[in-house]
Amino acid sequence: MKKLFSFQKRDTTNRLPKILERGTQVFVPLCPDYIPGGIADGVSALMLSALEAVKEVQYKYSQTSFMFLIADTECDILEGFDRRPIEASRDKLACELGRFGILSQTRLFSESFSDWHTLQYEMEKKIQEVLASTPDLDYFLSLYQEKRRERYSIQYGQGRRLSTEEVRALQIRHYAQYLVLLDIMHEQGRLVLMNYQTENLRALTKQHPFLPERRRLELIVY
Q: Would you kindly state where each structural domain of the chain is located, as residue ranges? A: 15-221
Closest-CA residue to 106 (of 124, 125, 121, 86): 86
- In this predicted structure, the answer to whether residue 169 has a pLDDT above a threshold of 80 is yes
Task: Tell me the C-alpha distance between 91 and 68, whole Å.
Answer: 11
Task: Tell me the C-alpha distance between 178 and 29, whole Å.
Answer: 10
Give 98-123 pLDDT, tens digit per residue: 999 999 999 999 999 999 999 999 99
pLDDT number for residue 84? 86
CATH-assigned architecture of domain 15-221: 3-Layer(aba) Sandwich (3.40)
Give 39-59 pLDDT, tens digit per residue: 445 567 788 889 999 999 999
pLDDT number for residue 85? 81
pLDDT number for residue 39? 47
Rg of the chain in Å (alpha carbons) = 18
* Exposure string over 124-143, b if 16+ CB within 10 A, otherwise e: bebbeeeeeeeeebeebbee
Percent of all residues in the chain with a pLDDT value above 90, rounded to a whole number? 74
Tell me phi and psi for residue 218, to 5 degrees.
Answer: -85, 135
Closest-CA residue to 96 (of 30, 146, 161, 147): 30
pLDDT number for residue 101? 95
Averaged pLDDT score across all residues of the chain: 91
- Terminus-to-terminus CA distance in the chain, angstroms? 16
Least confident stretch, 119-123, 164-168, 206-210? 206-210
pLDDT number for residue 40? 46
Closest-CA residue to 61 (of 7, 25, 100): 25
Give 171-203 pLDDT, tens digit per residue: 999 999 999 999 999 999 999 999 999 999 999
- In this predicted structure, the answer to whether residue 1 has a pLDDT above a threshold of 90 is no
pLDDT number for residue 33? 65
- Which residues, at least 6 apart from 192, have a Cβ–Cβ distance to it below 8 Å? 16, 19, 20, 24, 26, 27, 217, 218, 219, 220
The residue ranges of DSSP E strands in the chain, in sequence order, are: 25-30, 65-70, 104-108, 192-195, 218-221
When pLDDT is cut at 50, 70 and 90, the band that residue 80 belongs to is: confident
Task: Tell me the C-alpha distance between 29 and 27, whole Å.
Answer: 6
Task: Tell me the C-alpha distance between 177 and 35, whole Å.
Answer: 19
Give 7-41 pLDDT, tens digit per residue: 999 999 999 999 999 999 999 999 876 555 444 45
Give 124-147 pLDDT, tens digit per residue: 999 999 999 999 999 999 999 999
